[in-house]
Amino acid sequence: MRILLVEDHAELSHWIGKALQDARLTVECAMNGADADTLLHTQEYALVILDLTLPKMDGLDVLKRMRARGSKTPVLVLTARGGLNDRVQGLNLGADDYLAKPFELAELEARVKALLRRARGSEAVVLQCGALSFDTVSRMFTYGAAPLALTPREHAVLEVLITRAGRAVSKEKLFDEVFSLADDAGRDAIEIYVHRLRKKLERADQGRVAITTLRGLGYLLEATK
């Protein structure tokens, strides 16, 4: 699940990005409004965290242009401009939530999770595929009754697959969801993480869950007998 963080303060951007990565989210950063506008026009994100006071293009203009293109991606405005007029204008332009600086990291994480849950609409809080379960609130996987230990990248790949369980997911889609543009990785890196996940899912004491390769289509997560 990939998030775009638009923040021109390098230290704060690094701090927020690390916290969200620790929460098993893939974070891509933009340091100015023009770069953010370009990324939002060409890439897909599950959520945008948007500062307002930005070089090259104001955050409200980024938001306005984003909504004018028809994008429904949730936007959390995170800014020192916490006055009533700024809040009202941001919400009227299509922001989904507003958090003023300074803020507590725990509150930011809670708001991010709430927006991601809301974006799922009517999807179940716990996703299931055979003995494999994913709690979309705690963002934890369990296999049978035991937690499934995963690296952040393994977690990201498996999350994409379980949210589309029973449907083929292309290698390109997996790559776009798991890696940011700044990552130095080729698309074949997905094969490494799929291989590792297959090993972790091959537990004889559990109801089998397999990742099947469909030639020309991608990967399919399914429960097997």
Q: Tell me the pLDDT tens digit for each residue of 92-110.
A: 788 888 888 888 888 888 8
pLDDT at 181: 56
Q: What is the pLDDT of residue 65?
A: 92
Q: pLDDT above 70 covers what percent of the chain?
A: 92
Residue 123 has pLDDT above 60, yes or no: no
% helix, strand, coil for the chain, step of 5: 40, 20, 35
Question: 7-65 pLDDT, tens per residue?
Answer: 988 888 888 888 888 777 888 899 999 999 999 998 888 899 999 889 999 988 999 99
- Report the C-alpha gap between 98 and 1 in whole angstroms: 21
The pTM score is: 0.64
pLDDT at 108: 85
Residue 85 has pLDDT above 80, yes or no: no
CA neighbours closer than 13 Å in the CB half-sphere of residue 187: 7
Give bridge partners of residue 5 from the DSSP assignment.
29, 49
**CA–CA separation, 102 vs 52, rounded Å?**
14
The neighbouring-strand residues paired with 135 are 126, 140
Q: What is the pLDDT of residue 33?
A: 92
What is 163-222 written as a DSSP string? HTTTS-B-HHHHHHHH--TTS---TTHHHHHHHHHHHHH--TTS--EEEEEETTTEEEEE
Give the residue with greater pLDDT, 205 vs 171: 171
- Return the ∠ at Cα 47 (arms to 151 and 58), rounded to 5°: 130
pLDDT of residue 57: 92
Domains of the chain and any CATH numbers: 2-119 (3.40.50.2300), 126-223 (1.10.10.10)
Report the chain's terminal Cα–Cα distance, integer Å.
29
